Copies of this chain bind each other. A is one copy, B any other.
Amino acid sequence: MSLVIVGSLAFDTIETPWERRERIVGGSGTYCSLAASFFTRPKIVGVVGRDFPPAVLKLFKARGIDTEGLEVRPGKTFHWEGRYGYDPNQRETIRTDINVYDGYRPSIPISYRTADIVFLANIDPGLQEDIIHQVRRPRLVAMDTMNHWIRSMPETIWHVLKKVDILFANDEEVRMLTEEPNLIKAGKKILAAGPRLVVTKKGEHGALVFGRRLVFGVLALPCEDVVDPTGAGDTFAGGFLGYLDKVRRFGHPEIRRAAVYGSVLASFTIEDFGIDRLKTLTRREIEARFRRFKKLVSF
């Protein structure tokens, strides 16, 4: 199987109540592909500027990530600056410099076009639809989105959803998109539009996987020191889809375990700034934590 991830590669400037980090490597595609790389060999699509650290490109290679779809362009890498409060679920965007993403239109390399799973991380929903058309009959298409697009182009999102199997979004986004405060009712509205699964991410409260005949809840592992919540959602999606790509089956038992692996991976990401924790993470640590998740909810 193969998994194509279309997302952003970025520099993030992050401020928490305890610490500030300037221009560390982030981006939805970065988190997602690193997380997926523990299960499969994801193929990444995105663009970076010449200032993007070669060490991270090396890290991608070392982790088996295919970077043929990664363009390096003159100019600066996308930059996002944000600030978290004491509640890590609350964040504020301070600035966004889209830089090399200005006018960028993702092009899927020929070698990627037979992908079994395509993940459209949070980008312009118009571009997301465009990408779906570039890929030849994938078995599974998943997408993420964010409040910015839900506010500015909701019709486009509803249109793209017709062609998508899984929507990943956080609870606030699901409520905003459907104009429905109840997550089950909201989930039903989304399923009615096309997807067969809605994965609602709820930060420290875990995630809810909702399908026509499936309701599965996964808790977030209670964490004493959330160092940096950035990328937790993208890591979740990467772990989820990387696991499905590995096991090649999309039945309910696989989807349940995929959601737990997503949560496991995300629980590591938030333990350090940016991708630092993912750099040193091992399969053995992942499996040990998977067992902790099991114990957390067993009765």
Contacts and interface: CB of A to CB of B under 8 A. Distances in A.
A183 B216 contact: no
Contact of A223 (B86, B184, B202, B299): B184
A22 interface: no
A208 B205 CA distance: 10
30 contacts: A86-B181, A87-B181, A182-B223, A182-B224, A182-B225, A183-B222, A184-B222, A184-B224, A185-B224, A202-B205, A205-B205, A205-B206, A206-B217, A206-B219, A208-B222, A215-B222, A216-B296, A216-B299, A217-B219, A217-B222, A217-B296, A217-B297, A218-B299, A219-B219, A219-B297, A253-B299, A256-B299, A257-B299, A294-B299, A297-B297
Interface in A44-97: 86-87
Interface string A115-156: 000000000000000000000000000000000000000000
A40 to B, nearest CB: 19
A210 B219 CA distance: 14
Contacts of A260: 299
Interface string A251-265: 001001101100000
Contacts of A202: 205
Interface in A194-217: 202, 205-206, 208, 210, 215-217
A187 to B, nearest CB: 8
Contacts of A86: 181
A298 interface: yes
A176 interface: no
A183 B296 CA distance: 15
Nearest to A180: B86
Contacts of A257: 299
Nearest to A182: B224
B216 A297 contact: yes
A226 interface: yes
B219 A298 contact: no
Given A217-B219, A219-B219, A226 B299 contact: no
Closest 9 CB pairs of A and B: A256-B299, A205-B205, A217-B219, A86-B181, A297-B297, A184-B224, A184-B222, A260-B299, A217-B296
A185 B259 CA distance: 26
A183 B226 CA distance: 11
Interface string A235-275: 00000000000000000010011011000000000000000
Which of A205, A226, A253, A257 has the most CB atoms of chain B within a 10 A radius of its CB? A205
A263 to B, nearest CB: 10
Nearest to A219: B217
A226 B222 CA distance: 26
